[in-house]
Amino acid sequence: MGKMKKFFQYDNIGYLFVLPAFAYMLFFVGYPIVSNIILSFQDVTLKTLKADTKAFVGFQNYIELFQQDHVLMTSLWNTLFFTVACLLFQFVIGFALAVFFNKNFKIAKPIRGLLMMPWMIPITVTALIFKFMFGTDVGIINYFLQGLGLISNNIDWLTNPKTAMIAVVIANIWIGIPFNMILISTGLTTIPKELYESASIDGANKFHLFTKITLPLLKPTIESVLILGFIYTFKVYDLIYVMTSGGPVNSTQVLSTYSYKLSFELFKYSKGAAVANILFVILFIISLIYLKYVYSEEEA
Amino acid sequence: MDEDKKISRKQNIGYCIVALLLFAVLLFPLYWIFVTSLKTEQEIFQIPPTFWPHILNDASYKAQLQSGDFNMFRSFANSLIIAISSMLIAIVLAVPASYGIAKYNFKGKKAIILGFLVTQMLPVSVLLTPLFIMFKNMHLYNTFWSTILADATIGIPFSVLILKNYFASIPRELEEAAYIDGCNRFTAFIRVLIPIAKQGVIVCGIFSFLYAWGDLAYGMTFIIDQEKRPITAGIFNFMGQYGTKWSYLTAFAVVTIIPVALIFIFMQKYIISGMTSGAVKG
């Protein structure tokens, strides 16, 4: 009995340590999530923001968004396109770089380290850099493309609805490459070298080594890189907001920038909240898939 | 893959050349804004562009120290205040929490871990409107506090999840030895366990600082006075007003990168460990 009591006391102390952080997150994250859901079922605008009672409108905001608001569908589609395009390129390039820098040459490690820089820089700064480089007349990208003979006239990258998305995707790929590279590099170091040696002795060529050993053994790493990449990319905000603010003509409007626009430029707080919740639900489902996957890995 | 395999001298040189080329291409944007920040406005618009400044111009940097619209010095200080405070909140709360999770088996622990994991994946847009309303009601709107408190919500879950692995790896015997020496649970935690987990605490400090340093959405939404805004919001504001003043804009960008670059140069190993453990183990 005494032993049991002592054990109980012991583990109860854990609550004391966790409580401050937990209470903080409950207050500044948990409560806002709930109030964002409530907000999306109300009709709060600049006029009603300070009112004591706010009208409850049920699913009206969501219904209006899906039925009457073509910008929502555009944003949804743009977010998906942006995410898939970025993931595809940053993953392939990151993978190739990881394999390359895994070779045992002199400056491999320091150079790979320096290539992490783009991931660390505040995204506002990255957005500024690419806005400058994609400038129509001042931009170095048009200058290079002209020099290579690929274009004859300067492209107005960020002010043309047809090319703005390409520009923001390229900027985001630049941010994402280091993340993919470093995680895959870490994954590569866990593959035992003996596997390659014995397979080489058995006459396997480089292509076989890659498809039969590297890829299957990296599967867990690849999956978590892609799912995490999806989550991080899908909630893109700063980069697009600074580079194009969702324009021109909504061609780069994504869910997060549209939500911001509704709430803080048009002051339709409830509509903005509803869009944020749509984004949240999608990410939540993806996160659950990821977490289920992580937990099953840990148990295995 | 080929980690231990000896490669010939010739191959070594070949790889090094390719590596340097990749380096030059991938980090060209950083070089480009740096040289641009040292050019005159006229030279920036020159065609063909110059790849290093022909006339060295440091006016864009000097202007940041003077008063007026181009003064970024203040925004820089604001960002430092915000990022350091939010880092301190994150560390003070996350260190005990991660220890509690790592060392005690209380009810609901799994749910709490799950909660921290999910908040890490939360889009900023979900919190923006409700926090905006909340800070208005709490009279924190348009103060440093709003952004500090909001930024810490990014640092805390990250730090808890990273640090719990550090604490979990500390052998129980060390803690017990501290009890024999007369420590209680709290003094043992402070005097023995935290110093052992120091590396992890540094990783969390760095990342909490960087998250807050890079934040734009919170600083821009919760703080309205330009004199109180962080540097990211200052840059954004400046871009809207003087969109083609690239000499100033690139100089602001370079100044904003400085703390990041310093952290990067002196603490690279912590960053890589933070990225990999934070991402893979979630």
DSSP letter string, A86-153: HHHHHHHHHHHHHHHHTS--TTHHHHHHHTTHHHHS-HHHHHHHHHHHT-TTT-HHHHHHHHTTS-SS
User: How many Cα neighbours within 13 Å face the side chain of B2?
Assistant: 19
Answer whether residue B184 is part of any domain: yes
Cα of B67 to nearest chain A Cα, Å: 22
- Count of CB atoms situated within 10 Å of the CB of B105: 10
What are the distances in angstroms from CA A30 to CA A22, A35, B112, B127, B138?
A: 10, 9, 12, 9, 17
Lookup: tokens for A58:
């049920």
Answer whether residue B53 is part of any domain: no
Across all residues in chain B, what is the average pLDDT? Answer: 87
Contact A222, A184 (CB under 8 A): yes
Answer whether residue B242 is part of any domain: no
Lookup: tokens for A19:
């409580």
Q: Integer distance in angstroms from the first to the last C-alpha of chain A?
A: 36
- Residue B38 confidence class, pLDDT cut points 50, 70, 90: very high
Mutate which: A132, A153, A195, A284, vs B, most B CBs within 10 A: A132
Q: What percent of chain B has pLDDT over 70?
A: 94
Nearest to B16 among A28, A30, A106 (CB): A106
Answer whether residue B245 is part of any domain: no
Mutate which: A33, A112, A121, vs B, most B CBs within 10 A: A121
Q: Provide mean pLDDT across the span B49-65.
A: 83
pLDDT of residue A5: 53
What are the distances in angstroms from CA B166 to CA A3, A91, A250, B194, B274?
A: 29, 29, 46, 10, 12
Answer whether residue B159 is part of any domain: yes
Mutate which: B7, B105, B114, B126, vs A, most A CBs within 10 A: B126
pLDDT of residue B109: 87
Contacts within 8 Å (CB) and 24+ apart, A139-145:
A140/B32, A140/B49, A143/B47, A143/B48, A143/B49
Number of domains in chain B: 1
What are the distances in angstroms from CA A157 to CA A118, A136, A169, A246?
A: 22, 7, 12, 14
CATH of the domain at B274: 1.10.3720.10
Tell me which of B185 and B203 has the higher pLDDT: B203
A residues 79-98 closer than 8 Å to B (CB): 97
pLDDT of residue B281: 38
Q: Integer distance in angstroms from the first to the last C-alpha of chain B?
A: 25
Q: For B82-138, how does the pLDDT look when each residue is reduced to its tens digit (9 = 90+)?
A: 999 999 999 999 999 999 998 888 888 888 988 888 888 889 999 999 999 999 999
Contact B115, A25 (CB under 8 A): yes
Between CA B4 and CA A55 the distance in angstroms is 69
CA A295 to chain centre: 21
Q: Provide mean pLDDT across the span B220-236.
A: 92
Among B216, B240, B241, B244, CA closest to B230:
B216
Nearest to A28 among B20, B96, B149 (CB): B149
Answer whether residue B188 is part of any domain: yes
pLDDT of residue B280: 43
Among A109, A75, A1, CA closest to A278:
A75
pLDDT of residue B94: 95
Q: Which domain holds residue B168?
A: 73-230+263-280
* Residue B15 contacts A, CB cutoff 8 Å: yes
pLDDT of residue B128: 92
Which parts of chain A have pLDDT scores under 50? 1, 4, 7-8, 300
* Amino acid in the structure at residue A201: I
Answer whether residue B203 is part of any domain: yes
pLDDT of residue A201: 84
Between CA A251 and CA B125 the distance in angstroms is 20
SS3 state at B197: coil
* Residue B223 contacts A, CB cutoff 8 Å: no
pLDDT of residue B89: 97
Tell me which of A47 and B23 has the higher pLDDT: B23
- Residue B2 confidence class, pLDDT cut points 50, 70, 90: very low
Residue B282 has pLDDT above 50, yes or no: no
Kindly determine whether residue B281 and residue A294, on different chains, have CB atoms separated by under 8 Å.
yes
Answer whether residue B254 is part of any domain: no
User: How many Cα neighbours within 13 Å face the side chain of A137?
Assistant: 6
Q: Provide mean pLDDT across the span B222-248.
A: 89
Kindly determine whether residue A115 and residue B257, on different chains, have CB atoms separated by under 8 Å.
no
- Residue B271 confidence class, pLDDT cut points 50, 70, 90: confident
Cα of A210 to nearest chain B Cα, Å: 10
* ipTM given for this complex: 0.89
* Residue B52 contacts A, CB cutoff 8 Å: no
Domains of chain A: 69-299 (1.10.3720.10)
Residue ranges of E strands in chain B: none
